[in-house]
Amino acid sequence: MSPQSEPKEMSEKEVREAPESDYMNADQLAFFRKRLIELHEITRAHIQEAKDQMAAPKDLSDESDRASWEEQCSISLRIVDREQKLLPKIQQSLERIRLGTYGYCLESGDPIGIPRLLTRPTAEYCADVKAVKEIKEHIYNN
């Protein structure tokens, strides 16, 4: 691929079936960049939808309706909190694409792998490193 040519738009199937030698080439980076941008937009829409839902309570004259609405708000707040934490991770992933480090483990430098990135495009660690980190978290949090 020449430096002036535009990256080819790839399907998920093409990314999955690409040879290892194509790992994180310009076409794959463009695929993941697009996926991350879409994820960012969807996440922001979910957050706004949840906020709008909480801001506009229905007629809550019945105590059980009010309790249900409050429970739904509590669930929505947890979802908003989780999704708001995802937005910076998406931005960091987009920055790693810009820097040319996307798709490689922040700790070991090994490839994270296409299947893992398709499942979790914000992944920062390869599966082995992430597993060790989770074991350590479990040990130190107990």
Whether 142 is in a domain gets the answer no
Structural domain of 95: 12-103
Both tokens assigned to 44: 């922001």
pLDDT tier at 2, thresholds 50, 70, 90: very low
> Hunting for tokens 């709008």 — which residue is that?
52
Instruction: Please report the pLDDT score of residue 105 as a whole number.
Output: 96
pLDDT over 60 (residue 3): no
Give the CATH number for residue 35: 1.20.120.910
Mean pLDDT over 82-111 rounds to: 96
Whether 57 is in a domain gets the answer yes
Whether 36 is in a domain gets the answer yes
pLDDT tier at 138, thresholds 50, 70, 90: confident
Mean pLDDT over 93-97 rounds to: 98
Q: Which residue has the higher pLDDT, 84 or 1?
A: 84
Closest alpha carbon to 25 in 102, 115, 116 = 102
Instruction: Please report the pLDDT score of residue 1 as a whole number.
Output: 45
Both tokens assigned to 5: 């040519």
Q: Which residue has the higher pLDDT, 140 or 23?
A: 23
State how far the Cα of 104 lies from the Cα of 71, in Å rounded to an integer: 41
pLDDT in tens, 9-41: 999 999 999 999 999 999 999 999 999 999 999
Whether 113 is in a domain gets the answer no
Report the chain's C-alpha Rg in angstroms: 20
Please tell me the total count of domains within the chain.
1
Mean pLDDT over 109-132 rounds to: 95
pLDDT over 60 (residue 57): yes
DSSP string, 33-64: HHHHHHHHHHHHHHHHHHHHHHHS-----SHH
Whether 29 is in a domain gets the answer yes
State how far the Cα of 116 lies from the Cα of 60, in Å rounded to an integer: 45
Whether 67 is in a domain gets the answer yes
Whether 49 is in a domain gets the answer yes
Closest alpha carbon to 46 in 78, 91, 94 = 78
Whether 88 is in a domain gets the answer yes
